[in-house]
């Protein structure tokens, strides 16, 4: 687009988007440990920066009659079209890996199918200066859309809509955790926000609408990730002590429920011995395995699970009777036994579980924990006496 017909604000908006993405990438990369889903999210932002830069370069050189600038315009236009499609693809990969992955092999097979439309579009775009199918730069160095430009819009829309639908369906039918559901809802909203920007951008050429809406969407996702990290135990991936306190406070502030509230406190037997004998990495492994078992068992009834501290975990559940609570304890211990049979570790993991019934009218956090701890202590003391 010629300088005299487009405001320099176009470049300024894109530079601001680049600055935001760069700051987010820098902040995210400073973490000691970056999970794979977080690395994929970094790829989303890196692809976005490529898109912004391509858009800026196109703005500067489009319409400037110079053979060197014409070559740059061809490359920048292709880069913008390909990076926009690649960004939509990467967003789908992020959603799939984070919420739908079961095994690495199944995930990689899906990625091959997901990538087919992107690969075909990139091939069409790279050769488009000769075929004029997707876009072309005329002899005056002016960008024009080709007859198949709509393919780019459709591919981007398909990736984003599929990602949003995948997240929504997973949340509705497969995931029962309220925390994960909230994360999925925020991601779905951000995806639809980016989609809206892309649709508007396909109709408007003189404003970087997509760049701005994409930046807002990514910021929205990033803020939700950071908020989640405040309340999630970084080692075990379940709620931390802070979130436990908030949850119990909110629970006890309501005075009546249809079911009784129970608190389970459990710890790993002889955890210090595992640490001292086999090292802290093995201790971390034991903690992670117990946390995963709790998350698996408790998701069926949407029970609240948290790492309370050290090798102690907490579960808040609502049940009709003590018998139902005992069944939950038995189920947790059965899963631990299954883990031990499948493990090739030189030690077995065993746990002790204490529980207490909470009365919203009289209990607070301290009294709730004290009652459950007392039962846990009694169980461990009785077991110790039996082994002597």
CATH of the domain at 382: 3.30.70.270
- Judge whether 128 lies within some domain: yes
Ranges assigned E (strand) in 201-258: none
3-state SS assignment for residue 260? strand
- Judge whether 216 lies within some domain: yes
Beta partners for residue 304, in sequence order: 316
The answer to whether the beta carbons of residues 311 and 267 sit under 8 Å apart is yes
Are 259 and 184 in a shared domain? no
What is the phi/psi pair of residue 299, to 5°?
Answer: -70, -25
Q: What is the CATH number of the domain that holds 221?
A: 1.20.1070
H-assigned helices in 62-138: 67-99, 104-126, 128-131
The predicted model scores a pTM of: 0.71
Give Dmax (Cα) for the chain: 93
Token couple for 157:
């829309």
Q: Which of 36, 22, 38, 34 is nearest to 225 (CA)?
A: 38
User: What whole-number distance in Å separates Cα of residue 267 and Cα of residue 354?
Assistant: 9
Are 100 and 185 in a shared domain? yes
In this model, does residue 26 exceed pLDDT 60? yes
Are 87 and 114 in a shared domain? yes
- Judge whether 7 lies within some domain: yes
* Candidate from 92-96, 97-101, 268-272 with smallest mean pLDDT: 97-101
Are 321 and 253 in a shared domain? yes
Are 176 and 252 in a shared domain? no
- Judge whether 382 lies within some domain: yes
Are 212 and 299 in a shared domain? no
pLDDT confidence bin for 102, thresholds 50/70/90: low
- Judge whether 236 lies within some domain: no
Domain that holds residue 99: 3-231
Q: What is the number of structural domains in the chain?
A: 2
pLDDT confidence bin for 1, thresholds 50/70/90: very low
Q: Which of 115, 108, 105 is nearest to 82 (CA)?
A: 115
Which DSSP helix (H) or strand (E) runs through 57? helix 36-61
* Cα 278–chain centre separation: 32
User: What whole-number distance in Å separates Cα of residue 237 and Cα of residue 247?
Assistant: 17
Strand-by-strand arrangement of the 312-319 sheet? 304-309, 312-319, 260-268, 351-358
Beta partners for residue 137, in sequence order: 143
Are 301 and 191 in a shared domain? no
Residue at a domain's end among 194, 212, 231:
231
- 């406190």: which residue's tokens? 265
In this model, does residue 4 exceed pLDDT 50? no
Cα-based distances in Å from 146 to 79, 125, 129, 316? 16, 10, 10, 59
Residue at a domain's end among 206, 231, 256:
231
- pLDDT for 6 equals 47
Rg (CA), the chain: 27
Q: Whole-number mean pLDDT of the chain?
A: 86
The answer to whether the beta carbons of residues 189 and 162 sit under 8 Å apart is no
**Nearest 5°: CA angle at 52, between 22 and 209?**
115
Are 39 and 152 in a shared domain? yes
- pLDDT for 220 equals 86
- Judge whether 354 lies within some domain: yes
Cα-based distances in Å from 95 to 40, 74, 154, 269, 283? 10, 32, 19, 37, 31
User: What whole-number distance in Å separates Cα of residue 108 and Cα of residue 27?
Assistant: 28
Are 44 and 190 in a shared domain? yes
Are 143 and 251 in a shared domain? no
Which one is predicted more confidently, 286 or 6? 286
Are 226 and 248 in a shared domain? no
* Candidate from 193-207, 254-268, 310-324 with smallest mean pLDDT: 193-207
Q: How does pLDDT run across 68-88, given as a tens digit for each residue?
A: 899 999 999 999 999 999 999
Q: How does pLDDT run across 173-185, given as a tens digit for each residue?
A: 666 566 667 777 7
Burial class (CB in 10 A: 0-12, 13-18, 19+), 145: middle
Q: How far apart are the first and last CA of the chain?
A: 85
Are 23 and 103 in a shared domain? yes
Residue at a domain's end among 187, 204, 231:
231
- Judge whether 174 lies within some domain: yes
Q: Which of 37, 38, 135 is nearest to 84 (CA)?
A: 135
3-state SS assignment for residue 145? strand
The answer to whether the beta carbons of residues 41 and 27 sit under 8 Å apart is no
- pLDDT for 234 equals 79
- Judge whether 9 lies within some domain: yes
């Amino acid at each position: 687009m010629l300088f005299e017909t487009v405001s320099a604000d176009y470049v300024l908006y894109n530079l601001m988007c680049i600055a935001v993405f760069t700051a987010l990438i820098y902040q995210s990369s400073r973490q000691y440990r970056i999970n794979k889903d977080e690395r994929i999210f970094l790829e989303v932002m890196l692809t976005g920066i490529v898109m912004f830069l391509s858009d800026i370069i196109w703005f500067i050189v489009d319409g400037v009659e110079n053979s060197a600038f014409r070559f740059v315009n061809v490359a920048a236009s292709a880069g913008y079209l390909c990076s926009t499609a690649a960004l939509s693809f990467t967003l789908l990969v992020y959603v799939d890996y984070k919420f739908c992955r079961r095994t690495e092999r199944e995930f990689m097979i899906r990625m091959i199918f997901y990538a087919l439309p992107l690969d075909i579009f990139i091939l069409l775009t790279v050769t488009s200066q000769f075929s004029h199918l997707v876009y072309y730069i005329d002899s005056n160095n002016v960008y024009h859309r080709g007859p198949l430009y709509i393919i780019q819009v459709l591919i981007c829309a398909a990736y984003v809509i599929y990602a949003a639908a995948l997240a929504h369906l997973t949340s509705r039918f497969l995931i029962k955790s309220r925390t994960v559901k909230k994360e999925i809802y925020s991601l779905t909203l951000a995806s639809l926000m980016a989609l809206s920007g892309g649709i508007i951008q396909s109709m408007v050429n003189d404003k970087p609408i997509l760049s701005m809406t994409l930046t807002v969407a990514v910021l929205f996702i990033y803020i939700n990730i950071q908020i989640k990290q405040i309340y999630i135990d970084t080692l075990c991936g379940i709620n931390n002590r802070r979130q436990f306190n908030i949850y119990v406070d909110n629970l006890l502030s309501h005075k009546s429920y249809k079911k009784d509230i129970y608190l389970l406190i459990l710890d790993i037997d002889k955890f210090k011995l595992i640490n001292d004998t086999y090292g802290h990495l093995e201790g971390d492994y034991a903690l992670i395995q117990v946390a995963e078992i709790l998350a698996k068992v408790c998701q069926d009834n949407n029970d609240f699970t948290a790492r309370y501290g050290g090798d102690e975990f907490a579960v808040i559940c609502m049940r009709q009777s003590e018998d139902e609570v005992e069944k939950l304890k038995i189920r947790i211990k059965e899963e631990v036994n299954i883990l031990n049979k499948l493990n090739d570790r030189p030690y077995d993991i065993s746990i002790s579980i204490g529980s207490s019934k909470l009365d919203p009218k009289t209990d607070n956090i301290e009294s709730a924990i004290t009652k459950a701890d007392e039962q846990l202590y009694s169980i461990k003391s009785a077991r110790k006496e039996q082994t002597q």
